[in-house]
Amino acid sequence: MIAFRKNLFSTLKSGQNVISRFECTLPKLPYEYHALEPVISKEIMEIHHTKHHAAYVNNLNATQEKLKKALEQGDVATAISLGPAIRFNGGGHLNHSIFWHNLSPSQSEPSKELACAINKDFGSLDKLREVLSAAAVGVQGSGWAWLGLHPISKTLQVATCANQDPLQPTTGLVPLLGIDVWEHAYYLQYKNVRPDYVKKIWEIINWKDVSVRFATACK
């Protein structure tokens, strides 16, 4: 047991220098807060970005400071206990950083390569919409629905993650397109009718961004 604790602490401490240099910042949106109206209101976007996403960033940075201090003091128990907070806030930061770019006020279509993959794995783009929408609506409580790429088989798959669990560390899939179904993403506009929000969000999907993520993940 003593040897295990020493090895664990050594592993944790090896990342201490990285942690001391690592601080997250709130990314700017690639469009104005009102740009996604009428699908998503300016009020929702502004609160979602400047309050919710900002809170994940601030809490992640604060937790990393606590982790750094724990490592400096050799406090393994505290270092381990901070894991859930890092996962939640780090996941919230990662998920939203993808989500903002997955959306756009400009219409676009999947690239030829992505369209072929969608047809191969789902039958059609309409079928993908149906499957991903059903997954998003079916999330119990708060979470995300994702289109991801399996890094080995290179197949497209739909998956859901609870709360702010990040897709890749949770399922192994590379995230391409995410739908945020936390209530703060839609409640002020769509109330408790999540299916209406999920149906409308397809009008502002940035397929150019999804296509770039797909091409990168396929390399």
The reply to whether 93 sits in an annotated binding site is no
What sign has the CA pseudo-torsion 85, 90, 95, 97?
positive
When divided into structural domains, the chain yields a total of 1
What is the domain range of residue 50?
37-218
Q: Is the pTM of this model over 0.85?
A: yes
* Residue 56 maps to a domain: yes
* Residue 29 maps to a domain: no
Question: To the nearest whole number, what is the mean pLDDT of the chain?
Answer: 93
Here the tokens at position 58 are 């601030």
State how far the Cα of 131 lies from the Cα of 57, in Å rounded to an integer: 31
CB 172 within 8 A of CB 150: yes
Q: Is the pLDDT of residue 21 over 90?
A: no
The reply to whether 75 sits in an annotated binding site is no
* Residue 209 maps to a domain: yes
CATH code assigned at 212: 3.55.40.20
CB atoms within 10 A of CB 21: 6
* Residue 204 maps to a domain: yes
- The residue count of the chain comes to 219
Residue 58: its pLDDT value, please? 98
Short-list 109, 66, 61, 59, CA closest to 210: 109
Grade residue 14 by pLDDT with cuts at 50, 70 and 90.
Answer: low
The pLDDT of 39-48, averaged and rounded, is 99
